[in-house]
Structure 1
Amino acid sequence: MESTSDPAAFADTWLIIPCFNEATVIGEVIANARKTFPNIVAVDDGSADGSAEQIHAAGAHLVRHPVNLGQGAAIQTGVEYARAQPGSRFFVTFDADGQHQVKDVVAMVGRLRREDLDIIVGTRFGRARSADDQVPLLKRIVLKTVVALSARTRRLGLTDAHNGLRAFDRKVAEELNLRMNGMSHASEFVALMDERDWKVSEHPVDILYTEYSMSKGQSLFNGVNILADELLARRLP
């Protein structure tokens, strides 16, 4: 496991944070992450609540979409920005709502440095559940169902393919070309892993389901969208 949290050790790493109407929490999320990761680009995806001002005040690089294009487009914009920066080598997709943990990013980037891998996906099912890592029952059922329905996900050995915490190398960053918006981009990520033959692994992570994120209905809404996307994909040629 990567033992250091010295920001100088992560000068080659960029966090990409898609953001839509997260002004309440985005400043704190960025400030906490910047203690370890100095390079953060947050993509304000057409927010109307002052998210951009909070991003700027917290010291992250700010890229703005004039209208809401969806999480997939925001991630793609952020990756394109980060991969254009001198010295960028590793890239991490990181949620704006405080659910992802910096300690997990440190460990995942450490594995990319040591192991012959292109991309590591966080999994909520890699360790025993704890008081702070409670996957809501409905979402747990949906995520397990998605894995059961997706031959690609099973072939890649993934147990939580729709986890938004992903760490990857420059090869993936240069080949990434997300075209699907909303939560559909997660299924597209899986398809690219399979089609491009990227070397993939999972890493157990802790997801912090806060009162804030739960109050926005993310667990139910995103879970239903994920399942609908997977069922639609099975009907397409």
Structure 2
Amino acid sequence: MSDYDDVWLVIPAYNEGTVIADVVENARKVFPNIVVVDDGSTDNSSEHILTTGAHLVRHPVNLGQGAALQTGLAYALRQPGAAYFATFDADGQHQTPDVEKMVALLRADQADVVLGSRFIEQTGQVPWIKRVVLRTAATISPTARKLNLTDSHNGLRVLNRKAAAKLRITMNGMAHASEIVAFLASADLRVTEVPVDILYTEYSRSKGQSLINGVNILFDISLRERARK
């Protein structure tokens, strides 16, 4: 038995064969329940995932990180005893001690959703161009401002069952992060941010979002919000 038998980590993965086994094996030292969604990888990601003891769900084609997260959350919600759900990156950026402290806040009933932030405590680890993009996104996003978020595109999130059951991610690509923030801004849920330690390796930096992609995300969300009005 583990202290975290009621916690599920949801990891979307696309062509992460180089690192995915190490990421999952390290996470399973703390969190025994992990579902990895192989989002149509063309490398050997699935073979490596199968060696870890994690649950594997495959998309036959690449649908994007948003779709992979929705698939993983839906799978985890069906598991007996699942009460808390963490979205966790496949590239090694996220750290399990951060998930532990985020789960503790939910167990104490201090929030329904806990979001990780790279900017509450400045560590100097965030690459400068990424820092500019992310801080700009949080500043100009109406929904991020409504929630007083400092980091609206951090992939490390922990939700209780109430919040996870309500969430429906429809944007398949990277714009899902803004969609999640928009959902949280309109939902009757308690949302808080905590500082987290993101590990930027040469590998993870190569997988990051460019300035153009960041602008495209905001443009997609802007169009969606206009369509709702």
Q: Which of 80, 90, 93 is matched with 1:96 structurally?
A: 90
Aligned to 1:233: 221
Which secondary structure state, in structure 1, belongs to the residue aligned with residue 159 of structure 2? strand
Match for residue 59 of structure 1 among 50, 53, 57: 53
Q: Tell me if structure 1 keeps the 8 A contact 2:175–2:220.
A: no
Contact 1:43–1:78 (Cα < 8 Å) also in 2: yes
Equivalents in 2 of 1:51, 1:157: separation in Å? 37
1:209 paired to 2:200? yes
1:219-230 aligned at under 5 Å gives the runs 219-220=209-210, 223-230=211-218
Find the counterpart in structure 1 of residue 139 from structure 2: 148
Distance 2:212 2:83 in 1: 34
Residue 4 of structure 1 is matched in structure 2 by none
Given that 1:52 and 1:62 are in contact with CA atoms closer than 8 Å, whether structure 2 keeps it comes out as: yes
The secondary structure found in structure 2 opposite 1:10 is coil
Determine which of 150, 153, 156 is the counterpart of 1:165.
Answer: 156
Percent identity (aligned): 54
- The residue number in structure 1 matching 2:14 is 20
Q: Which residue is 1:83 aligned to?
A: 77
Q: Does 1:106 align with 2:97?
A: no
Amino acid at match of 1:103: P
- SS class of match (2:2): helix
| Residue 29 of structure 2: aligned partner | 35
Asked if the contact 2:179–2:221 (Cα under 8 Å) also holds between the matched residues in 1, the reply is no
Q: Name the aligned partner's letter for residue 31 of structure 1.
A: E
Determine whether 1:73 maps to 2:67: yes
What is the deviation of 1:219? 4.3
- What displacement does 1:190 show? 0.6
**Is the contact made by 1:136 and 1:219 (CA closer than 8 Å) also made in structure 2?**
no
Matched with 1:9 is 3
Q: Aligned to 2:46, what secondary structure does the other structure show? A: helix
Residue aligning to 1:197: 188
In structure 2, what is the Cα distance between the partners aligned to 1:94 and 1:182? Answer: 16
Q: Kindly state the Cα deviation for residue 194 of structure 1 after the two structures are TM-superposed.
A: 1.2
State the SS of the aligned residue for 1:9: coil
Q: Which blocks of at least 5 consecutive residues in structure 2 are unaligned?
A: none
Contact residue 142 and residue 224 of structure 1 kept, 8 A: no
How far apart, CA to CA, are the structure 1 residues paired with 2:220 and 2:88? 26
SS in 2 for 1:82: helix
- Please list the CA deviations of residues 204-235 of structure 1 after superposition, one character each: whole Å capped at 9, or x if unmatched: 0011110111234x143xx4323322134335
Aligned-pair CA distance for 1:195: 1.6
- What are the Cα deviations for residues 108-145 of structure 1, in whole angstroms up to 9, with x where unaligned? 00111113311011000011315xxx111111111111
Structure 2 CA distance for aligned equivalents of residues 64 and 233 of structure 1: 27
Classify the secondary structure of the residue corresponding to 1:110: helix
Separation (CA, whole Å) in 1 of partners of 2:19 and 2:116:
22
TM-score by length of 2: 0.94
Instruction: State the AA in 2 paired with 1:57.
Output: T
- CA distance, structure 1, for counterparts of residue 221 and residue 10 of structure 2: 26
Counterpart residue number, 1:119 = 113
Structure 1 segments of 4 or more deviating over 3 A?
none
